[in-house]
Structure 1
């Protein structure tokens, strides 16, 4: 089996293509023959030693949290309800958090994962879409379901009457947030920094786009949402909190899922008290299994409804590398390549 591994933290040069024994699934586990592996910022940050566990959590690590493929082996049945699975060989699936608390990520031909990290992939969905879900789509789902006035789950109509502001709609999380919010009935506004990114956010389904490098951004948002926005999906709260405050509706929620642009914020307390603002910070790895499973179910429902897509026509261009060029794929993500970076494991 071809695998990409690293045994020390560092730049992309620590990634090596090796041959490893085919892993066998245990009780409550399945083996997935991977078609595509998705690369996220967390993957390169973990490789450099800045991941959730810090340093090298295992002597050797296969990187990448997300992927999609076909189940080719199921672990032995034990009669224990906790390890029982309904998956069978040949099932199409997507995988999330594969390399979290495990040395077996998705940058390899096969991966063994607990059934709790494996989700059925609808027949109409491509493996490219499946490998692009995981971190981005689940982060977006969580961001859209923690507002003070709800909802806690997404479905058609769940966000009817709400206005959602997606800061940075051309990124992978922003793209998923736009598509999921639109599916759930929200009016979606997205900030962008160029005409090209405006095109991408619009292709994803944003009703309105605002270039934050041109004119008065708060006034432009208020023009289309005079009563304010109910929920902000925030990628750079250190830079954007004053803007969020200026456009937020009473009882509005700002959800920060990244620290782009700075690691600290200055907060004006009185205005936020007056708005009854909820500031929600989130990290996918600690949201808990209930939130992860809810996200997996709702995302799958959105796929079945034809509401989630990837590709240039849907605002998320794909950049694909073969497995042997995983280091280049990691470099592309570190260099902020617009869109989604995937690894074709079968190439």
Structure 2
């Protein structure tokens, strides 16, 4: 089979297309013929060494993807052979991710993909959708699970609504009944955030964004899903309601975070930092179940018309796909692996 590998951390040029033996699923595992592999910032950070040195002599990257189960290991229901699935955390703690024609994962990391959902949707779930779910379910007085009506009466602010996680925050929050506000940097991203389903779109580079948000939510925002905490903290605190929650899954731009302790004490601010690797098995399993339900309801579509443009590369151009993600390509970068 064809696979992308790297043996040393570094820039995208360390990625190589090679031939490898077909992997065999072990007990509790499934083998998936990958149709589409999805790339996230965490993938290039792992490749570059920014998130720490690699743990295996050879690594096939990418956490997310979608395809068809073609073999199962001992203890896995054989009826799953032929099942269309989406994969999450495929390369977490393992040397082989989805940038290959076949990969092997624990059976629970391969989730059935409904017939009406294509492989592009499946490959775009994983990290973005599960991160968004966690961000929306950590408020002290909010739900631990998402579904229609779970966020009725709540106001959610999705920072950076044109990004992959921001896009998933908008879709999941709207599916769950929240009023969704998002901040963006220009008219093109505003168009995408509106297409994703945001009720209100605010350009944070113009006018008084805090006043605009407060006009929409006079009592303040219940949950902020934040991608750039250092840059956006002042705005977040200006619009957060008392006992509101700031769920942080990134610090784009790298601006240092400075906390006014007294101000946050008075607000009773709840800060929750989010990363899937250490979130714990119960929250992760709940997120997978709820995201799967949202997919069945048609609540997580992708593509330009749904606010998440798809940027595609063939497997032999995976290095170019990594460059696109690193350079901030708008939308979701996908690698087409097999037809």
**TM-score range for the pair, normalised by the shorter chain length:** over 0.9
Matches for 1:175-194 after TM superposition, within 5 Å: 175-194=167-186
Deviations 1:256-303 (A, max 9, x none): 100212263111122211211101111111001111111110001011
CA distance, structure 1, for counterparts of residue 89 and residue 258 of structure 2 = 32
CA distance, structure 2, for counterparts of residue 189 and residue 56 of structure 1 = 38
What TM-score, normalized to structure 1?
0.96
Is 1:68 the counterpart of 2:66 in the alignment? yes
- Give the counterpart of 1:259 among 241, 251, 260: 251
What TM-score, normalized to structure 2?
0.98
* Contact map agreement 2:43 2:62 (CA 8 A) in 1: yes
* Contact map agreement 1:85 1:115 (CA 8 A) in 2: no
Deviations 1:22-43 (A, max 9, x none): 0000100000001000000010
- Give the counterpart of 2:321 among 320, 324, 329: 329
Matches for 1:126-165 after TM superposition, within 5 Å: 126-165=118-157
Deviations 1:27-77 (A, max 9, x none): 0000000100000001000001123xx212100000000000000000023
Matches for 1:45-124 after TM superposition, within 5 Å: 45-51=45-51, 54-77=52-75, 84-85=76-77, 88-124=80-116
**CA shift for structure 1 position 4:** 0.3
CA distance, structure 1, for counterparts of residue 237 and residue 261 of structure 2 = 11
**CA shift for structure 1 position 115:** 1.1
| 1:246 to 1:345, Cα distance in 2 relative to 1, 3 A | same
CA distance, structure 2, for counterparts of residue 264 and residue 87 of structure 1 = 51
The match for 1:80 is none
- Kindly report the root-mean-square deviation, in angstroms, between the aligned alpha carbons of the 2 structures: 1.0
CA distance, structure 2, for counterparts of residue 176 and residue 290 of structure 1 = 20
The match for 2:36 is 36
The match for 2:21 is 21
How many residues get paired?
A: 339
Name the SS for the 1:196 alignment partner: helix
**CA shift for structure 1 position 117:** 1.3
* Contact map agreement 1:28 1:85 (CA 8 A) in 2: no
The match for 2:297 is 305
Deviations 1:208-261 (A, max 9, x none): 000011011101111111111000000000111111110001110001100212
* Contact map agreement 1:95 1:117 (CA 8 A) in 2: yes
Unpaired runs of at least 5, structure 2: none
Name the SS for the 2:117 alignment partner: coil
CA distance, structure 1, for counterparts of residue 77 and residue 193 of structure 2 = 38
